[in-house]
Structure 1
Amino acid sequence: MNEPEFQDRYEGGRALAEHLRDYAGRPGVVVLALPRGGVPVAAEVARRLGVPLDVFLVRKLGTPGHEELAMGAIASGGMRVLNREVVDELNIRRDQIEATARREALELQRREQRYREGRPPPDVRGRTVILVDDGLATGTTMRAAVAALRILEPAAIVVAVPVAAADSCTSLALVADRIICVRMPEPFYSVGLWYRDFDQTEDDEVRALLAQAAQAPPSTGAQSSA
């Protein structure tokens, strides 16, 4: 197997920002991170582009008995996306889907309150949204985020990740206005294999990064790469 592409999520974010330089300092651009792992990546992107940072909450719906396998996802605003291939192949019952969705909705609400700390969600209507995560495996969670964001009528949605499975980038390109996948290693296996440090991002780190971004208004231009 090849060596990991990135030391950690912050390095992934710096690499991703280089591919998004045409958005630097542009009015009407906002970076939205998928918590929790996407926040360190997005923080670097937003800082280097000189644009605002916020979060967009999405929760994976894990398959009963195989929680790491996504049968779908839910996002802020009540949007739900199901992976019909997984649901049908494993004969997952509707009551199992509903029970999982209710549990994840509670966690989504908890995180929304904890991360925002009273700050209102950003108004994305008419804006260009750069939607960032630490990587794409199946892409189910990101598809849920894109579908939920469409309802809010942004001008454009750019999906941007440091590393991804090639087929997931291809499928996301059908629903996003633009997609940036810095690395698409083969075979892919999982997102975590392509980072040397892939420790879980904790709530406190997310809150600190968001608070820092809120307290320091973005500059009018891109940050130096130094």
Structure 2
Amino acid sequence: MRFPDRRSAGQELGVRLREWAADGDLVEPVVLALPRGGVPVAAEVARALGAPLDILVVRKIGIPGRPETGIGAIVGDGPPLFDRRALAILGLTEEKLAPDVSRERTELHRREHLYRGDRPAPGLSGRTVILVDDGLATGATARAALHHLRTRSPARLILAVPVGAPGAVHDLRPAADDIICLHQPTDFQAVGQWYDDFDQTTDEEVLHALEESRTDSRPSG
């Protein structure tokens, strides 16, 4: 299974979630996207469920020299969440990665301000929270996001992605109440290999999707 682009993947994921949700109530659902790549996917999921769309900015901490391979991640001003086993295997420490954490936190705050401005983060207590990304590779970013969201007391915490490495999906199951993953290829190497168009999502596209979602949810008349 390959997806033409992130929007198409989001539409398929939205259909699956809508069918899945028919078997049980989703209490005041809210869809949270992991920017930037998760936003086009999440916009379609939110549209399918008739739910509001917002973002949760998480920054991946990559392996030195291999920044695309996540070994940890940060959310807000919280401490970094690292894969301790991977740190030990690679001979890395939090102290060695401190400059990377500082750099990524600066970018995290830049994106939060750009995407949200003065708009407060949505209240999540007692609600069904659906966290969406364009795929799972190591799962480091999603793990940090789920860990953070659990502290916000959601009624139900769901991770939804179009494609994911089977090992990452398996390892993340204890962190979420449910995981919806359309495709878990055994020959998974990278998220991008399962998309025909995997161009980088821009800040402008993120802002457009968020504004479009807010416009759709405004009452008419």
TM-score (norm 2): 0.93
Higher relative contact order (CA 8 A, sep 6+): 1
CA contact (8 A) 1:31 1:132 kept: yes
Mapped partners of 2:94, 2:11: distance in 1 = 42
By how many angstroms is 1:26 displaced?
A: 4.8
Mapped partners of 2:116, 2:32: distance in 1 = 13
Mapped partners of 1:12, 1:163: distance in 2 = 9
CA contact (8 A) 1:61 1:100 kept: yes
By how many angstroms is 1:156 displaced?
A: 1.1
CA contact (8 A) 1:143 1:175 kept: yes
Mapped partners of 2:73, 2:208: distance in 1 = 26
Counterpart in the other structure of 1:119: 119
Counterpart in the other structure of 1:216: 216
Check if 1:142 corresponds to 2:142: yes
Report 1:25-104 matches (<5 A).
Answer: 26-104=26-104
Counterpart in the other structure of 1:224: none
Higher percent of residues as helix? 2
TM-score (norm 1): 0.91
Counterpart in the other structure of 2:5: 8
Q: Which runs of 4+ in 1 moved over 3 A?
A: 22-27
Query: What is the RMSD computed on CA atoms of the aligned residues?
Result: 1.7
By how many angstroms is 1:77 displaced?
A: 4.4
Mapped partners of 2:148, 2:122: distance in 1 = 14
AA aligned to 1:83 is D
**Residue identity (%):** 48
Number of residues of Structure 1 aligned to a counterpart in Structure 2? 216
AA aligned to 1:206 is V
Unaligned segments of structure 1, at least 5 residues: 220-226
Counterpart in the other structure of 1:107: 107
AA aligned to 2:8 is E
CA contact (8 A) 1:50 1:218 kept: no
What's the CA shift string for 1:16-63, capped at 9, x where partnerless? 011111447955100000000000000000011100000011000011
CA contact (8 A) 1:79 1:147 kept: no
Check if 1:190 corresponds to 2:187: no
Mapped partners of 1:117, 1:26: distance in 2 = 29
Unaligned segments of structure 2, at least 5 residues: none
